A = this chain, B = another copy of it.
């Protein structure tokens, strides 16, 4: 497995693969890889001749008060996981390799990003769209893989790819959960034992909402109220948002029909966790 630190190395390797007629898949990550990332990489290895995983803790998608500094890292472990799955190249640039001191170009969206995580994190999706655009231009993949856990991110990236005519297939992959239901996340590592237990309220609330919809509930307000009440029953939980939105526009809906996204963000102590389900 190749470990590349510069844009130039990646470009040269990908061009060599292209000359051989090989297809290339990209799995963009911020590192501290878990089973969720592993599922993306396995899918990518299955569907492409070569797979590039980027491990880049992208500063521009963190707000000034967010957890960039404390975000967990373990590059050696990440590489071991990538290699075991059959990833061909890990791209691990320094921030300086990605952002020149006078960097000033941004890819942004004026809808889809005003609700959910975009509301709580106003510059987050600008950072995501920009870094993903850069990674797409560096790696020029045939396919790129994103987890359904970041449902709004997936919708935003699909829209960006469509709007800017990027010739890349976006593959969304299901949420991977712990045995007890908690959605896998690098941020789960922040939780102490008590918080880890309390964090189950997210997946329990998701399961409750999903059951109501399966049982025929069409009112977004009713599902939202039940999910909110469930989360509020946990003393360590503080709701950032509980929203039911159109699956494409990310705008709140009153009536549940396909495609609808039910998404939550909840602080457990100081740790902000997200979860969702799609109808």
Select from chain B the residue with minimum beta-carbon distance to A21: B19
Q: Are A102 and B137 in contact (CB under 8 A)?
A: no
CA distance A11 to B7 in the complex (A): 25
CA distance A25 to B270 in the complex (A): 52
Minimum C-beta distance from A276 to chain B (A) = 21
Q: Are B105 and A160 in contact (CB under 8 A)?
A: yes
Contacts of A105 in B (CB 8 A): 107-109, 129, 159-160, 163-164
What DSSP secondary structure best describes chain A's contact surface?
mixed
Q: Are A165 and B106 in contact (CB under 8 A)?
A: no
Q: Are B110 and A165 in contact (CB under 8 A)?
A: no
Contacts of A100 in B (CB 8 A): 162-163
Minimum C-beta distance from A245 to chain B (A) = 15
Pick the residue among B112, B138, B159, B165 that contacts A137 (CB under 8 A). Answer: B165
Question: Other than the known A105-B160, A137-B167, what 6 A-B pairs have Cβ atoms closer than 8 Å?
Answer: A100-B163, A106-B109, A107-B133, A108-B108, A134-B165, A138-B165
